[in-house]
């Protein structure tokens, strides 16, 4: 079904080559179509988008980090995100910089849609009170702040303990984040629009500890062992870092909000996997 686009939010990482120029180009094209445009430019650490309501579409210009930022900021606002890749890798941002207009027109015509992506809600509890909270599109990681320091973590699910881990840390990843840090740590790759979470220990001392795929209605509770001595930290999407103390608990669950990311009509998720990960062999064999 065709879509009426009246207002577009452009989120551009000016640390990426060509971001300013492409933002101006897109803005000019859209304004000629009588579409309102708001442009949010940032470099380095992104701050909160000042105006999130009233937009029919968001276009991100940057790499996957820009999409992660936009997804956290816009989760729950039902604003589809067209991710244009100006970075080197681009698992989430599948649309090349010279493909933005055909992708935009295909979305407006109803030929491609925005798929829902699970978002994590993460909070830290210290001494019975909430210390801080975050959203994440990729993952939440509890790990040592030092190099090659093993940590002790107790992990339980909603209503039962699941294990005590001696490891470099623990990753809780979304399907979108299954191709990121979790994959590097030996976790499974999930289709990004699935409704599930991955619990993945990082280099566990006990080799029988394996990654687990969990339904989205589970809550994962990670407690720093009271006897833990070396420094431990929580990172969310690799962009928010919180030092943890012994006995702190990190609660991770699926948010009731979703991010909506427009699928490319030039390539499928599996083609992106095959090309980005350089899988060998002919898929037609």
For the annotated catalytic residues, the residue numbers are 64
CB 119 within 8 A of CB 75: yes
Angle at 123 (CA atoms; ends 134, 250), nearest 5 degrees? 130
Instruction: Count CB atoms within 10 A of the CB of residue 218.
Output: 18
Question: What would the 3-class secondary structure string for 37-55 be?
Answer: EEEEEECCCCCCCCCCCCC
Phi, psi of 199 (to 5 degrees): -105, 115
Angle between helices 19-32 and 100-108 (to 10 degrees): 40
- Name the pairing type of β-strands 219-224 and 161-167: unpaired
């Amino acid at each position: 079904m065709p879509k009426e686009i009246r207002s577009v939010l452009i989120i551009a990482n000016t640390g990426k080559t060509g971001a300013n120029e492409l933002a101006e180009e897109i803005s000019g094209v859209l304004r000629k179509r009588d579409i309102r445009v708001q442009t949010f430019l940032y470099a380095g650490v992104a701050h909160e988008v000042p105006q999130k309501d009233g937009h029919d579409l968001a276009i991100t210009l940057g790499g996957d980090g820009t999409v992660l930022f936009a997804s956290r900021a816009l989760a729950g606002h039902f604003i589809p995100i067209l991710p244009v890749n100006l970075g080197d890798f681009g698992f989430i941002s599948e649309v090349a910089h010279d493909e933005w207009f055909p992708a935009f027109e295909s979305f407006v015509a109803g030929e491609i849609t925005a798929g829902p992506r699970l978002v994590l809600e993460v909070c830290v509890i210290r001494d019975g009170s909430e210390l801080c909270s975050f959203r994440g599109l990729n993952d939440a990681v509890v790990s040592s702040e030092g190099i090659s320091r093993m940590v002790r973590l107790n992990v339980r699910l909603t209503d039962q303990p699941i294990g005590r881990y001696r490891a470099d840390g623990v990753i809780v990843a979304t399907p979108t984040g299954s191709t990121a840090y979790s994959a590097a740590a030996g976790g499974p790759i999930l289709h990004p629009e699935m409704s599930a979470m991955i619990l993945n220990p990082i280099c566990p001392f006990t080799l029988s500890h394996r990654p687990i795929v969990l339904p989205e209605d589970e809550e994962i509770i990670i407690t720093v062992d009271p006897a833990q001595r070396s420094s431990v930290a929580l990172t969310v999407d690799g962009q928010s870092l919180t030092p943890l103390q012994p006995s702190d608990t990190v609660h991770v669950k699926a948010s009731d909000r979703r991010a909506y990311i427009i699928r490319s009509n030039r390539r499928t998720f599996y083609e992106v996997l095959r090309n980005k990960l350089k899988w060998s062999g002919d898929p037609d064999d």
